[in-house]
């Protein structure tokens, strides 16, 4: 557990390093120290094969990066930051989409890209796919899925380039969550958009069932 003094020190290091727009963050002493911590945490994660266990470890590790992230988001000027981008992904891995979106907004604003660890070289592409897949896993496991972060992700990435299949995944899970919430009219629009973007999205039958349901509702009025 970090002491209040250490948390303050980390936050100030992040603020000072992030202010150096013309001097890449990797040259800041505070940044180097945080990279050492990140690399050590990654080494610990590599020792574990279970995805579920990795997620739990990340959940425990993430508080150690809070001061750094807060400092960058508060005073950063857009320097590429591997720590920040890794934390964004870890937030998604543990299901904290709202916190990931806070970082994503900053990253998209300043054109930050994912680290080399991730094959997708677009932050919007990575974000949309990771959010869609995390929500789909939770939905499949019968967990409650909040549609608001999904809609926020869709809005945040609407002008960004990515494969149509990825955007279709996001529309598909939004459609399912809205359908389960009794919002059939909104749900069918997202499912239709998913099908339009990707014919193999697997939503044709769902659209047909929702259309039938909506007709019955209209006829009963």
> Which structural domain, as residue segments, surrounds residue 218?
124-221
* pLDDT confidence of residue 25: 47
Nearest to 133 by CA among 164, 100, 98, 92: 92
CA 187 – CA 205 distance, rounded (Å): 13
CATH number, domain with residue 191: 1.25.40
| Per-residue tokens: 92 | 């998604």
| Residues 79 and 159 occupy one common structural domain | no
| Residues 99 and 176 occupy one common structural domain | no
For the full predicted model, state whether its pTM sits above 0.85: no
| Residues 4 and 105 occupy one common structural domain | yes
| Residues 13 and 112 occupy one common structural domain | yes
- Which residue stretches of the chain have pLDDT < 70? 1-2, 6, 15-29, 116-121
Task: Answer for the pair 84, 100: CB distance below 8 angstroms, yes or no.
Answer: no
| Residues 84 and 159 occupy one common structural domain | no
* pLDDT confidence of residue 173: 98
| Residues 41 and 111 occupy one common structural domain | yes
| Residues 96 and 128 occupy one common structural domain | no
| pLDDT tens digits, one per residue of 129-165 | 999 998 998 899 999 999 999 999 999 999 999 999 9
Within 13 Å of residue 60, how many CA atoms lie on the same side as its CB?
10
Question: Among 118, 148, 181, which residue terminates a domain?
Answer: 118
* pLDDT confidence of residue 32: 86
Nearest to 100 by CA among 149, 169, 38: 149
* pLDDT confidence of residue 119: 60
């Amino acid at each position: 557990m970090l002491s209040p003094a250490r948390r303050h020190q980390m936050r100030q290091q992040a603020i000072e390093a992030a202010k150096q727009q013309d001097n890449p963050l990797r040259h800041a002493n505070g940044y180097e120290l945080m990279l050492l911590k990140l690399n050590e945490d990654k080494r610990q994660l590599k020792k574990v094969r279970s995805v579920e266990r990795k997620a739990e470890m990340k959940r425990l590790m993430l508080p150690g990066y809070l001061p750094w992230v807060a400092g960058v988001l508060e005073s950063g000027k857009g320097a590429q930051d591997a720590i920040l981008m890794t934390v964004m992904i870890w937030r998604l891995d543990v299901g904290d989409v709202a916190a990931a979106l806070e970082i994503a907004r900053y990253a998209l604003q300043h054109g930050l890209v994912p680290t080399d660890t991730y094959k997708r070289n677009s932050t919007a592409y990575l974000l949309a796919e990771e959010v869609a897949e995390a929500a789909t896993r939770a939905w499949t496991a019968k967990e409650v899925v909040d549609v608001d972060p999904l809609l926020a992700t869709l809005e945040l990435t609407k002008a960004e380039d990515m494969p149509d299949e990825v955007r279709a995944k996001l529309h598909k899970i939004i459609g399912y969550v809205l359908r389960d919430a009794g919002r059939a009219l909104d749900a069918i629009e997202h499912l239709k958009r998913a099908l339009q973007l990707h014919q193999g999205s697997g939503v044709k039958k769902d659209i047909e069932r929702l259309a039938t349901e909506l007709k019955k509702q209209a006829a009963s009025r």
